[in-house]
A and B are shown apart, each in its own frame.
Chain A
Amino acid sequence: MSTIAAGLSALDRLDRLARLDTAVHRVDPRAKVITTAVFVVCVVSTGKYDLLGLLPFAVFPVVLAAEGDLPLGFLGRLLLMASPFALVMAAFNPLFDREVVAWLGSVPVTGGWISFASIVLRFLLTVAAALVLTATTSFAGVCLALEKLRVPEPLVTQLLLLYRYVFVLGDETRRMAQARRLRSFGRRGRDWRVYGQMLGHLLLRTFARAQRIYLAMKARGFDGSVRVARPLHFGPGDLVFTLGWSALFALFRTVNVPLALGRLVAGVLGIAAGTG
């Protein structure tokens, strides 16, 4: 259960990072949300075997993380924590797609391995971008931007409350698991049954708490919409940020930049060789 504590402390650290004050942090949340969305669409829609074409996209999370003073080691650890999901998703590609499409020296490379690498890379890129977005905008900032961008309000309210109470729920889970551990003396035989009951208990507690929160909200005049008075200002700089990055992503998406660069270099060398 220490994984819960670790996860919560990571969330907490992301939230504290979001209170830094750098040029990236000051960009309007809407600009960052839109740019990240364009980034994700471009990355995800890149061809299945187009491994090389994906590489330039890394510039976005890396530049933002560097400019935003984010600790790269911490973000790297979070990426590693999340990566098993991608590995599982991609695991079967090398088994089903065995056609050899390239040779790396004398080692045959199958299409399956390339698409495997492409899935993992796309996962890393999109998750890194999402982490950087959260760490420079804060979860609440992202929610606020979503609301201003006309995402349905119930959805945004749900996200806000989910984030607020994941800490409370995590704490309750941790205490319950601790209580179980203290009286189970390292025995694991009946674990699954006990875990089932614990989950049930947590669900009931969640219902009770949701009821109390709803009462507390109603007592202060809640009428279905959560109003936040946080002024946002979308300036020319934010427009440049959004359009600049989006244009770059469009370029990466339509032109295989590493390949083009390679051809250019080869061409220059060829000319040099021809004239020399």
Chain B
Amino acid sequence: MNRHAIAVRDLSFAYPDGTLALDGVSFDAVHGESVAVVGANGAGKSTLLLHLNGLLTPQRGSVDVGGTPVARDTLPEIRRTVGMVFQDPDDQLFMPTVAEDVGFGPLNLGLPPEAVAARVASALQRVGAEHLAERPPYRLSGGEKRAVAIATVLAMEPDVLVMDEPSSGLDPRARRRLLGLLKGFDQTRVIATHDLDLAAELCTRTIVMAGGRVLADRPTADVFADDALLEAGGLERPLGMRSCPVCGTEPARSGTPQK
């Protein structure tokens, strides 16, 4: 059984106020693949992500991770397998110090203290944040918070990473560093984002959502070359795939994602 694969089938979800957030969504992600989920605000991206590790349970349809259906009794296993990075790091970093926050998940997994310490050290080192270990989270910069939030998830050694807007609120250099970090991961990645250049650079495949449905599920380069599709999804071409606004030259790269 491939623990890294995700299979979503005919998933629908309506919020208690009646808003139909997901309306028959289906897609697959295979081992090591990096998939972008793009779409306008309110397209259903965040709701979809919340289903991938069982924070919401399907009202109709199903979600399978590594062959295990997401259901009440499989939640501990699903949450170990799928690591979720939330949009606002302040929501994710709730412990008094960075080290304790990174250790929160591993301790809940029931690991002994020495193993937890080792995981904390290696996760922080992976995101280049070893020096922040003893700092309280509220004193970190936006980029540092994001890096630590990713470390809190890496410390659980997940097979799948789910990220909501990983590059929002980052300055260009912090964003560049994040991209480098994400490129180095070998987990299956599902990334919801408005940062279309990030999608073009990191993801081999892109899912376009609108009104709770999947508009398109195609190779990233195809999606961003299809102006009609982008228009329908409330999107536009990534800056890196437009001609230069000053001199009018065509973009150097055709948007083929680098792997």
Q: Which residues of A contact B (CB under 8 A)?
A: 12, 15, 19, 138-140, 143, 160-161, 163-165, 167-168, 209, 212-213, 215-223, 226-231
Contacts and interface: CB of A to CB of B under 8 A. Distances in A.
The 8 closest A-B pairs by CB, nearest first: A140-B96, A221-B108, A220-B105, A227-B107, A212-B91, A167-B138, A229-B113, A219-B84
Contact of B80 (A140, A161, A213, A221): A221
B156 interface: yes
Contact of B103 (A138, A212, A217, A229): A229
B86 A212 contact: yes
28 contacts: A12-B139, A140-B136, A143-B96, A163-B96, A164-B136, A165-B94, A212-B86, A212-B88, A212-B91, A213-B94, A215-B86, A215-B91, A216-B84, A216-B91, A216-B92, A219-B53, A219-B55, A219-B83, A220-B156, A221-B79, A221-B108, A221-B156, A222-B108, A228-B100, A228-B107, A229-B113, A229-B116, A229-B117
A19 B138 contact: no
A29 B44 CA distance: 47
A170 B92 CA distance: 18
Nearest to A222: B108
Given A15-B136, A140-B96, A220 B79 contact: yes
B90 interface: yes
B108 A164 contact: no
B186 interface: no
Interface string B94-113: 11110010011101110001
Contact of B108 (A15, A138, A227, A230): A227
Given A221-B76, A229-B113, A229-B117, A216 B108 contact: no
Contacts of A217: 94, 104
Nearest to A219: B84
A212 B56 CA distance: 12
Interface residues of B, number: 35
Main SS class of interface, B = helix
Interface in B52-87: 53, 55, 76, 79-80, 83-84, 86
Interface of B: 50, 53, 55, 76, 79-80, 83-84, 86, 88, 90-92, 94-97, 100, 103-105, 107-109, 113, 116-117, 134, 136-139, 152-153, 156
A25 to B, nearest CB: 14
Nearest to B107: A227
A116 B57 CA distance: 61
A230 B96 CA distance: 11
Contact of B91 (A15, A140, A213): A213
Nearest to A220: B105
Nearest to B88: A212
Nearest to A141: B96
A231 B108 CA distance: 17
Nearest to A217: B94
Contact of B100 (A12, A19, A216, A230): A230
Nearest to B138: A167
Nearest to B56: A215
Given A212-B91, A229-B103, A220 B96 contact: no
A230 B133 CA distance: 13
Nearest to B89: A216
Given A215-B50, A219-B53, A227 B104 contact: yes
